Amino acid sequence: MHMSVMPIAFVSETLMFIVVVALAFGALTLISSFIRFQMMTQRVKGELPEDASPLELFQLQVVRELGALHQAPDPFSVLWIAPVCPANIEQMTDEEERQALLRQWADELRSNLRNADLVMEQDDFTCALLAKFPRAQARKIVQRVTDRLSRSSIKLPNGQTQRWGLHAGMVHYPDHGEKAAELIEQAQQALAVARQSAGSALHVPGGDPAEAEQDEAKAPSEPPKNVRPLLDELTGVLRAERLGTALQRMLSRQRKEGEGLSVIYFAIDNFPQYQDHYKREAGDHVLKGFADMLSVHTRETDILARAAEAEFVAVLGCPPREAFVAAQRLVAEIKRTSIRLGSLSLKVSVCAGVAGYPDHSTQPRDLLTFAQTATAQAQAKGRSSAVLYQAAPKARPPAASPRPLDGF
């Protein structure tokens, strides 16, 4: 009797000991990984003097983005960018003037990116960019930024203004490496390849498979009959009835990735007066011009739609407070811009309202309604105003929205 019990007890105690040892070893490994990462980042910080170079500072930012060793970081892109400037720029300027020009150009670059994207000027008249571009959209985003920068004028010390393009080398984590120095080195090498082109150019080492797959999938085909077009014929942005589906998809993606989403609702101030005073052609020209301005000042991944005759919606993949800053900037920029119609120069102003996830609602219809309500509040304040929706505790959208929204 005792002979049969003892082995069973012994086996149980042995198994328990093995389990405890395994758990302890796993915990120690996890703690050790975390401590090694902290020591690594502290060592990097400690080795950086107060006059650390921009390259060293950028490398530290990439190290931080890579995250703790026990936690997989999100994919991101590293770009090394150089302006396409006059060949005799060194003869025309001194070092201090060139750095001032680079800062001016870098500010233009930042204005075409989200606040979360990091741009750092480097000592060799280049800029380093750390951005969380969607992998399949990265090339299009860079191309769009390139197009915008090529339309921006840089004022030289002699008073002349010139438009500069850009050369860029881009790599993606984890596709091109998993170490900060490795990613930076490949981005710099890719820039060297891009610089061999006479005009603006982007180079991605080994090509960009995701983009190639997308291009192959875009084989020309006949549009289905009896199906209303996806885009508004006049402005080229999404039609109102298509907005609901597009917003729902983007919101689902942002929620899955733990990211914010914001809706900016724009209304052109006093639009009927344009049509009354300048006739229908001028009104259409204003609508098209405003849609073009929105397209220039938003990113490829953002959603642009025409919600009503003189009302537009921009959906951004960022928290509401960041979107509110962007809305204020857009409202101010549009106020400073004129729309040309023959010999006429038409000034346009807009009001904007902002609402977003997760601050205000998890439902797309609510977000549009709240943003529209904020726009009405902005219009009550006067022209060229922007308002961030303020939700009351446990607030629900009104039973009847100010105007029914299409697409829901």
Q: pTM value?
A: 0.46
Give the other-Cβ count within 10 Å of 329's Cβ: 13
Predicted confidence at residue 66, as pLDDT, reads: 79
Query: Does the domain formed by 54-214 have CATH 3.30.70.270?
Result: yes
Q: How far apart are CA 55 and CA 40, in angstroms?
A: 18
User: Is the backbone of residue 382 left (phi > 0), alpha (psi -120 to 50) or beta?
Assistant: left
Q: What is the pLDDT of residue 185?
A: 92
Q: At what angle do helices 95-111 and 138-150 cross, to 10 degrees?
A: 120
CA–CA dist 356, 26 (Å, integer): 41
> Which residue ranges does the chain devote to CATH 3.30.70.270?
54-214, 240-388
Using N-to-C axis directions, what is the helix angle for 180-194 and 54-66, rounded to 10°? 120
Smallest CA-to-CA distance from 374 within 351, 394, 392 is with 351
pLDDT on residue 353: 97
pLDDT along the chain (408 residues), means of 10: 53 66 60 48 48 85 69 79 77 81 85 84 90 78 78 70 81 87 92 82 73 42 48 87 89 89 94 76 84 83 90 94 94 85 79 95 92 95 93 54 54
pLDDT value of residue 398: 53
Determine the pLDDT at residue 405: 58
**Per-residue pLDDT at 328:** 95
Instruction: Please report how the helices 209-217 and 138-150 are oriented relative to each other, as an axis angle in degrees rounded to 10.
Output: 90
Q: Are 338 and 347 in contact (CB under 8 A)?
A: yes
Burial string for 243-260 (b: 16+ CB within 10 Å, else e) reads bbebbeebbeebeeeebb
Three-state secondary structure readout of 343-376: CEEEECCEEEEEEEECCCCCCHHHHHHHHHHHHH
pLDDT of residue 31: 55
**Domain topology for 240-388:** Alpha-Beta Plaits (3.30.70)
d(CA 366, CA 397): 6
* pLDDT of amino acid 247: 92
Give me the pLDDT at residue 179, please.
86
What pLDDT, on the 0 to 100 scale, is given for residue 400?
45
* Confidence (pLDDT) at 307: 92
Can you give the three-state secondary structure of the chain, one letter per residue?
Answer: CHHHHHHHHHHHHHHHHHHHHHHHHHHHHHHHHHHHHHHHHHHHHHHCCCCCCHHHHHHHHHHHHHCCCCCCCCCEEEEEEEEECCCCHHHHCCHHHHHHHHHHHHHHHHHCCCCCCEEEECCCCCEEEEECCCCCCHHHHHHHHHHHHHCCEEECCCCCEEECEEEEEEEEECCCCCCHHHHHHHHHHHHHHHCCCCCCEEECCCCCHHHHHHHHHCCCCCCCCCCCCCECCCCCCECHHHHHHHHHHHHHHHHHCCCCEEEEEEEECCHHHHHHHHHHHHHHHHHHHHHHHHHHCCCCCCEEEEEECCEEEEEECCCHHHHHHHHHHHHHHHHHCEEEECCEEEECCEEEEEEEECCCCCCHHHHHHHHHHHHHHHHHHCCCCEEECCCCCCCCCCCCCCCCCCCC
